[in-house]
Amino acid sequence: MMWKKPILVLASISLIALLTFPVYAQAGAEELAKRLIQSYGNVKSFLQSIIDNLNDETASKVEDALARADPLIEEANTLLSSGDYESAVEKAREALSVIRDALRDIKDVDAIREGGRLRMAIGRLSRAVIRVERVIQALENRGVNTTNFTSQLEEVKSLLEDAKSLLKSGDLEEAREKIEEAANGLRSLYSDVRGAAKEHLNLTKEKVLNRVKKIERASERCIVRLDLIYKKLLRENKTEDAEKVLKLKNSIERTLLSLKRHIENGQRFLALEDVRQLFRYLRVCRRLGT
């Protein structure tokens, strides 16, 4: 029964790749296809690395699944290269489903679900780290001593890296502890950084709301024009250019939703980060002649 622990590891890793589709649901088709193909590559590499530790029946199932899934991924890569992103997504999903179905009889369902929850928690914390890092940089640009903030942030990053490693090794309990420790550290840091931001960045409610109103109006106008450009490009059979325009439009819409959420939650400096991102998108719009 030496293969039971590797199966738990396999289950955790397979969940990370196979059940993270909702994370990418808002992404453009090209980006989604690339991520799914990469997810398959990660799963395949892991399965090949532990196959010698599996019993004969399980190893046979894994090898058969890979033999059936590999051609689908090859086809997905070909479709991706030709610009048929939607079909590439479908083929990549099909390949991942083959692996998922093959493992259904041998995976620990509870461990699978827990591994997925932990993976998503790491993703959320990693995105929060990036946002806090931007505010710390803004404070540093204003001449504020951010040494303590930076030190705390590096500690949080280290804990998240440890959690990722533990998750890959199948040690869910230790991974969970590291994630909780990172979350607590980030909450404390967020509170301190928010106080400093209010003091040094002049993030008054009125200032934020004024910026928000302006950028929302400009972004909404841009979305309408991008939609017209997208349809025009499709009529001209310029599919690749049309997909790029659609990706930009979707990015603006997602950031507007993020901005609304941060405003509702009173997270003013995070709202300003959304505003800055929207300004960057609008610069791209202007280059498109919108």
pLDDT in tens, 98-137: 888 777 655 544 555 676 688 889 988 998 899 899 888 8
Phi, psi of 203 (to 5 degrees): -85, 65
Residues 192-221 have pLDDT tens digits of 888 887 776 665 556 666 777 888 888 888
Residue ranges with strand state E in 51-203: none
In this predicted structure, the answer to whether residue 26 has a pLDDT above a threshold of 60 is no
* Token representation of residue 174: 């230790």
Largest CA distance in the chain: 67
Residue labelled with tokens 């804990």: 159
Exposure b/e, 222-241, CB count within 10 A at least 16 = b:
bbebbeebbeebeeeeeeee
Exposure b/e, 165-190, CB count within 10 A at least 16 = b:
ebbbebbbeebbebbebbbebbeebb
Q: Which of 92, 30, 80 is nearest to 247 (CA)?
A: 30
Residues 248-275 have pLDDT tens digits of 999 999 998 888 888 788 776 677 778 8
Model confidence, pTM: 0.45
Residues 54-107 have pLDDT tens digits of 567 777 888 888 999 999 999 999 999 999 999 999 999 999 988 887 776 555
Q: Which pLDDT score is estimated for 154?
A: 94
Q: Which pLDDT score is estimated for 25?
A: 42
Q: Which pLDDT score is estimated for 145?
A: 87
Distances (CA, A) of 106 to 4, 12, 50: 9, 12, 14
